Amino acid sequence: MRSLPASQQRFLTDIHRLLATLLYRDIADPRFNGVTITRMEPSGRQLLTVWVYHNGETDQKACIEALNRMAPHFSHEMRRVLSKKFRLPSLQFKWDINFEKSGDVLQMLRDLERP
């Protein structure tokens, strides 16, 4: 990912915190219990890709579809809370398979026997 100006990085951090709070406190859908936002990537000025992961058993496709259907609700809450200084991008949720792979690598490293 390219380097972003400090103001945009702070703005993305604010969006990340707000989305995490909304998922944790405001949404009662059991599919979102334990969902974690792993990273966020701006795609131009109009789109923000939000990568999510769930450590337990969950239907990934149903979870992502539900999150994308709720994107207008999240956008509304962000407009209500965040500064009007930046134009808010549209949200697109995707499943973070890289997070699963990193867990597999960590497990392999733990399983290695030290001499």
CATH superfamily, domain at 6-111: K homology (KH) domain (3.30.300.20)
**Residue 65, pLDDT score:** 93
Separation CA 86–CA 82 (nearest Å): 9
Domain boundaries, the chain: 6-111
pLDDT computed for residue 60 by the predictor = 85
Q: How confident is the model at residue 101 (pLDDT cuts 50, 70, 90)?
A: low
The most distant pair of C-alpha atoms in the chain lies apart, rounded to whole Å, by: 58
58: left (phi over 0), alpha (psi -120 to 50) or beta: beta
Other C-beta atoms closer than 10 Å to the C-beta of 19 total: 21
Q: What global pTM score does this model have?
A: 0.77
